[in-house]
Structure 1
Amino acid sequence: MTVRTCAAVTAILVSAGCGASPSAEKPASEHPVKVQAASLKEGFGTMERLIEAAQKEGTLTVVGLPRDWANYGEIIDTFADKYDIEVKQLEPGASSRRALDAAAQLKPDVFDLSLEEAVGAAGRFAPYKVQGWLDLPDHVKDPSGAWYAAYGGYMSIGYDPRAVPAPASFADLAKPGYKVALDGDPLRSSAAFSGVMAASLQGGSPRPQQGVALFAKLKKAGQLTSTDSANTVITWDHVNAARAARNSGSWKVVIPAGAPLGVYHVQAINKAAPHPAAARLWQEFILSDEGQNLFQKGYARPARGEAMHMRGTLDAEQAASLPKAPGPPVLLTIPQTDAGKTYLKKEWAKSGG
């Protein structure tokens, strides 16, 4: 990681007899550390002092980070080795909702959340703006620094090219030969829900009834199955791309041109973090060039990717290996997400489930 020194300067007047004279500027190293600060400059002055404060705490507690998701295994191990800090990994399979609901019990330092969950719980986070703050697009960060995206992806179709041709659209999945699986139950799984919503896109807008109707048609034709017996799986592109990398020639990935549904995963610091300096160091690390390239190594798309590309710090070879995106992602608004969930709750069991 690049270490940058941000000097915090304070002018001090010292009384001497009847008058006062200015002292020399106080160096950042003399300022007291504020582990609850909202920026590196405000709380620590330099990365060295943040690292020192985090190492004194000695531990970082994370929740809901599967090691095989977006390369989190390597990211966690790299952080732990780089800074000599123990990372406690609690409930790797926990959903965003579960992570928040169990926070009082599990006491995590940081969260990795869906946008809708982060927005609803913003008051529970400690605002902190990382050094790469200005590189993050405005629409994927809270203005106060309560939460901000670290990586994202597109909903995709993974398929076995030995069994079926490359689908050009979600509608193609209704053709003979496709045995299709969602990545879970769309009433419980965020990935599966997003798969239905991707299939519902028309002209960039979601029409939940269209998505549910497709999967009802697949079910009726006996083409909707489990991931174990499917030759086609609908899930995030980094999941399908990782499978393709493990199974060269027997798995490929496509993001349909008419349905570029995207999502960002956002980060936040627990306001009650037991290790506040380590939490801030973690955020600096995963939003650094090194951390962002590690996400990309797991086929996720770095939130700072565009700025890094312009500076030449993005791993270009790895970027070229990502599934080709047909254009900018369609990001569902919270009202659109809520409307989709309401519709599926009413219709999925009788139509698609």
Structure 2
Amino acid sequence: MFTRSSSARRTPLLLAAAAMALVPLAACAPPQSDSTSAETDSGVKVDEATSAQDFGGMDKLVAAAKKEGELNTIALPPDWANYGNIISAFSDKYGIKVNSAQPDAASQDEINAANQQKGKSSAPDVFDLGQSVALANTAMFAPYQVTDFDQIPDEFKDPDGAWVNDYGGYMSIGYDSSKVSPITSVDDLLQPELKGKVALNGDPTQAGAAFSGVVMAALSQGGSADDVAPGVDFFAKLKDAGNFLPVDPTPATIESGQTPVVIDWDYLNAAETAKLPSWKVVVPENAAVAGYYFQAINKDAPHPAAARLWQEFLYSDEGQNLWLAGGARPVRADAMVEAGSIDQKAYDALPEVSGDPVIVSEDQAATATKYLQANWAKAIG
């Protein structure tokens, strides 16, 4: 098991357009329905329910969620950790429409959207966040313990269920072996032949993948989770060498050859091997960084029952195996291996990792985020 690092994802090049889109959404969206003030059979308000038992069991939670009929998600790219199939499976199983907004947004955009659309029917019901963004916004989360809550190790959850780690992986370097020489270490990224070819997934002040990429670089340069300055310095060297490519990588940029070297989570890089057989993935031996994302319910969710059912689905064997099918490591993996309920073939296919992974703590993430906010733009600007 391992813990997870900071957060956001996905395509900062799209963030400006996404932010502009939020204003009309907030202005035009209708107010929430009465579902947030409804009560369960046990007399608990739906938006205050902390377990399926508060509804009278799973069947009644399902009924309440179906009555709401919709679930609002945000920042869930369909090709990220198999989210496309996860959303489809949930919708098909329960007959609930999933409104997937801004799939390429970052974690901070999720929080911004919730604040800007508070009280509207279009507000996000649930969050999928990186560590630094999640832990900075816990006041916005509704505590909820899924049925399998006890099978999630204590270090991967808030005791009351305000947030729970969901899926994770290791920071890695993916590269097209038909275009560049083999890469085995972070230092290899400084090779002259990689001019204009090394891309980082996101802005580390906002995105978890990018944050962990900087931590990985820091470890390789003698730094640590307590001192990410060497990582920032390394990216400054990459830029000065002309190797740093300021383009957010996507499956399209990888497959077109625009981003032949990508620093990203191993499950995202590994997913590309099915489409591009020449794509290789390496987790640097001297710089293994592990990280989970954080799952949470918006306390002001317009569809509070559907939000809670979504959590139940994600942490069920079915949901956990769907993340695994996308190359991500589900948080309940150990319990599922012991119970024999894990997809063993998919589990065995995960990228190999050697050495002890670095685990970024809450305090370390806060310190590193503060340093990045003060120094990242200067280093690569």
TM-score, length of structure 1 as denominator length: 0.84
Judged with a 3 Å threshold, the aligned counterparts in structure 2 of structure 1 residues 312 and 115 are, in CA distance, closer, same or farther, namely same
2:325 aligned residue: 297
Preserved contact between residue 38 and residue 129 of structure 1 (Cα < 8 Å): yes
Please name the residue that 1:65 is paired with: 76
Paired residue for 1:272? Answer: 300
In structure 1, C-alpha distance between the alignment counterparts of 2:315 and 2:261, rounded to whole Å: 33
Give 1:145's aligned residue.
161
Q: Which of 343, 349, 352 is residue 315 of structure 1 equivalent to?
A: 343
In the alignment, residue 232 of structure 1 is paired with which amino acid?
V
How many residue pairs end up in the alignment? 323
1:204 Cα deviation after fit: 5.6
Question: Which one-letter code corresponds to 2:202 in the other structure?
Answer: G
**Equivalent AA in structure 1 for residue 237 of structure 2:** K
Corresponding residue to 2:103 among 83, 89, 92: 92
Bigger relative contact order, structure 1 or 2 (CA pairs below 8 A, ≥6 apart): 2
Distance 1:195 1:30 in 2: 48
- Aligned-pair distance for 1:95? 1.9
Match of 2:147, SS state, is coil
Aligned amino acid, residue 102 of structure 2: E
Which residue is 2:32 aligned to?
none
- Is the Cα contact below 8 Å between 2:108 and 2:206 reproduced in 1? no
Aligned Cα RMSD in Å? 2.3
- Name the CA distance, whole Å, in 1 between partners of 2:366 and 2:112: 19
Aligned to 2:20: none
Aligned partner of 2:314 among 286, 293, 297: 286
Aligned to 1:209: 229
Q: Partner of 1:102: helix, strand, or coil?
A: helix
Counting aligned pairs with the same residue, the percent is 49
Deviation at 1:351, TM superposition (A): 3.5
Contact 1:152–1:263 under 8 Å retained in 2: yes
Equivalent residue number for residue 3 of structure 2: none
Asked if 1:237 is matched to 2:255, the reply is no
> Which runs of structure 2 are paired with 1:68-79 in the superposition (5 Å)?
68-79=79-90
Contact 1:161 1:251 in 2 (8 A): yes
Cα 1:99–1:347 change in 2 (3 A) is closer
Structure number with higher helix proportion: 2
User: Structure 1: any 5+ residue segments left out of the alignment?
Assistant: 1-28
Query: Given the alignment of the two structures, is residue 220 of structure 1 paired with residue 240 of structure 2, yes or no?
Result: yes
> TM-score normalized by structure 2?
0.78
Code of the aligned partner of 1:172 = D
Tell which structure's C-alpha radius of gyration is larger. Answer: 1
Q: Alignment partner of 2:162: what SS?
A: coil
1:181 aligns with 2:210: no
Match of 1:196 in 2: 214
Relative distance call for 1:350 and 1:119 in structure 2 (3 A) is closer
Residues 49/323 of structure 1: CA separation in 2 closer, same or farther (3 Å cut): same
1:164 to 180, 188, 192: 180
Tell me, in whole angstroms, the C-alpha distance in 1 between the residues paired with 2:226 and 2:191. 22
The letter of the residue matching 1:134 is: D
